[in-house]
Structures are given as structure tokens and as C-alpha cells.
């Protein structure tokens, strides 16, 4: 169990600076170029990355803006695309006990949560003293967010240097990284959810492309929950 704050900081830096940071950088380069081609300002691109902090929701907003949807439906679409963050926050925040329980600080911590920090926390928290977990999470999250914002700016500014197909292709690095990241989480339910959700995503995309993400999460997550429910119910000695 790691109890040295400096060791926790070094661990967070080592975990974040590498595959997570570079994947977010290149994914957001694709997003930044897409925003530029949609005739939205650079400040809007940065605000979407830092404010929504979820690529499906960011893409939903841009696409619905191009389609001329009303603000109500844009907000609804973004909320549905990033609905996965609600159970993630509810299950993840109690793992980081802290002296401060101020609402503003908790909202700031929740805003920083992504699949990257969620999976990294699940993997590392068992080895870190509970009172030092926030330190790990904040450092890891700040590096990831900084990398995402930097990638957005780079993609927006250098859109003319990248072919359109390559710029859009960079966006798909994120789902690939998510799959690798979840596979590394030492939890059988997470692996089952990944194995169940991957084929369902392809199936629902062929049936109804507009609702494929939502249906995959709802159906795949529910199936994984019930498949592991019996295992969780067995009391451990």
C-alpha cells in the first residue's frame, strides 16, 4: 500500500504521460479539425473539450449544430451520448475519501472524470492509501485534460495540413484505447461488459445507426450486469 505522497505523484505522472496522454492528444486533433471544418470558432472547440469532456457528446453537439437542431435537442443529445458518466461518477467518487466535502470541489472532480481516469483509478486505487487517491486522480486527470485541450487546438489550427480522412480517422483512436484500457482493468464484470458490448455495437449500428451507442450501452451493460450478478451475490469467506 503506497503511503508516500511523492510516490503517488510519480505513479500518476508515469501512468498518464504515455499511452493515455498521446491517445487523447491524437483523438482530439481529429476533433479539432472537425470543429474547424464545421465553421465553429477555436474558443468553442476548446470549450467543448473541457466542458463536455466526452468525445461522443462532443461529436453529437457538432453534428446536431450542423443539422440546425434546437438548443433543447442538442442538450438532450449530448446528455444521452454521455449518459455513461452518471453511473461512473456515482460509483467512483466514494473511492476517493477526502477532508473537503464542498460541493464545488466535488463537481470539479466529477468534471475531470473520463474513461481514462476511471479505469486507471480502478487499477491503481487498491494499492494507494485512501487519503492519497485524490492526489493520484487529480494529477492523472489534469494531464489527460491538458493533452485533450492541446490536441483540440493543434487539430483546429493545423487542419489544412491533414487530409480530411486522416483527421477523422484519428477520432477512432479513442474507442480503440478504451477497449485496451478496459481489458487491463482487473475486474471480471468490466471484461464481460467489453466482450458483450463489442459485437452488440456492430449489430445495433447496422440496425439503427442513430441509436447504436445508446442501445449498446443499455443492452450490453444490462446483460453484463445480470451475467455477473450471481457471482457478486456469492459471499466471500
User: What confidence tens digit (pLDDT) does each residue in 71-99 have?
Assistant: 999 999 898 888 889 888 998 999 998 76
Residue 180 lies in a domain: no
In this structure, are 128 and 218 located in the same domain?
A: no
Q: Report if residue 32 sits inside a domain.
A: yes
- Calculate the average pLDDT of the chain: 83
For the segment 41-56, what is each residue's pLDDT rounded down to a tens digit? 999 999 999 999 988 8
Domain ranges, residue 33: 5-170
Domain presence at residue 58: yes
Residues 163 and 191 in one domain: no
- Do 17 and 123 share a domain, yes or no? yes
- Together in a domain, 159 and 55: yes
Q: Are residues 164 and 197 in the same domain?
A: no
How many whole angstroms separate alpha carbon 223 and alpha carbon 189?
Answer: 10
The predicted structure's pLDDT at residue 4: 92
- On whether both 35 and 140 belong to a single domain, the answer is yes
Q: Are residues 126 and 209 in the same domain?
A: no
Residue 59: name the closest of 25, 83, 28, 104 by CA: 28
pLDDT band at 166 (very low <50, low <70, confident <90, very high): confident
Distance CA 33, CA 163 (A): 10
197 with 163, same domain: the answer is no
- Provide the pLDDT confidence category of residue 235 given band limits of 50, 70 and 90: very low
Lowest model confidence (mean pLDDT) among 74-83, 138-147, 151-160, 185-194: 185-194
Per-residue pLDDT, 103:
76
From CA 67, how far away is CA 85, in angstroms rounded? 25
Asked if residue 178 belongs to a domain, the reply is no
pLDDT given at position 187:
58
Q: Which of 16-20, 30-34, 188-192 has the lowest mean pLDDT?
A: 188-192
Residue 141 within any structural domain of the chain: yes
What per-residue string of b and e applies to 70-100 under the rule 16 or more CB within 10 Å gives b?
eeeebeebbeebbbbbeebbeebeebbeeee
| Lowest model confidence (mean pLDDT) among 83-97, 167-181, 204-218 | 167-181
Using the 3D structure, point to which of 111, 137, 170 is the last residue of a domain.
170
Cell for 154? 493543434
Position with higher pLDDT, 186 vs 150: 150
In a domain, residue 87? The reply is yes
From 170, 196, 211, give the residue that closes a domain.
170
What's the total number of domains in the chain?
Answer: 2
Cβ within 8 Å of residue 189, ≥6 positions away: 224, 225, 228, 232
Assign 237 a pLDDT band (cuts: 50, 70, 90): very low
195 and 158 within one domain: no
**136 in the same domain as 234:** no
Same domain assignment for residues 135 and 24: yes
Instruction: Please report, for residues 12, 101, 103, 138, the alpha-carbon distance to residue 117 in angstroms, rounded to integers and kept in the order given.
Output: 10, 20, 20, 9
Q: Per-residue pLDDT averaged across 37-42, rounded?
A: 89
Given a contact cutoff of 8 angstroms between Cβ atoms, the answer to whether 7 and 124 are in contact is no
pLDDT of residue 153 exceeding 90, the answer is yes
Amino acid at each position: 500500500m503506497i503511503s508516500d505522497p511523492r510516490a503517488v505523484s510519480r505513479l500518476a505522472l508515469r501512468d498518464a504521460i504515455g499511452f493515455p496522454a498521446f491517445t487523447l492528444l491524437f483523438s482530439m486533433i481529429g476533433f479539432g479539425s472537425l470543429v474547424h471544418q464545421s465553421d465553429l470558432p477555436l474558443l468553442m472547440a476548446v470549450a467543448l473539450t473541457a466542458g463536455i469532456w466526452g468525445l461522443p457528446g462532443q461529436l453529437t453537439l457538432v453534428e446536431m449544430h450542423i443539422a440546425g437542431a434546437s438548443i433543447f435537442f442538442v442538450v438532450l443529445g449530448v446528455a444521452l451520448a454521455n449518459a455513461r458518466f452518471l453511473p461512473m461518477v456515482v460509483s467512483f467518487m466514494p473511492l476517493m475519501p477526502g477532508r473537503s466535502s464542498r460541493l464545488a470541489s466535488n463537481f470539479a472532480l466529477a468534471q475531470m472524470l473520463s474513461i481514462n481516469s476511471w479505469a486507471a483509478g480502478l487499477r491503481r486505487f487498491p494499492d494507494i492509501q485512501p487519503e492519497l487517491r485524490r492526489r493520484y486522480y487529480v494529477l492523472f486527470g489534469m494531464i489527460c485534460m491538458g493533452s485533450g485541450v492541446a490536441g483540440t487546438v493543434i487539430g483546429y489550427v493545423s487542419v489544412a495540413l491533414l487530409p480530411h480522412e486522416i483527421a477523422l480517422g484519428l477520432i477512432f483512436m479513442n474507442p480503440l484505447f478504451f477497449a485496451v484500457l478496459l481489458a487491463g482493468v482487473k475486474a471480471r464484470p468490466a471484461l464481460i461488459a467489453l466482450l458483450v458490448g463489442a459485437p452488440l455495437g456492430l449489430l445495433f449500428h447496422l440496425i439503427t445507426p442513430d441509436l447504436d451507442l445508446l442501445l449498446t450501452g443499455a443492452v450490453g451493460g444490462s446483460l453484463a450486469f445480470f451475467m455477473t450478478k450471481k457471482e457478486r451475490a456469492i459471499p466471500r469467506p
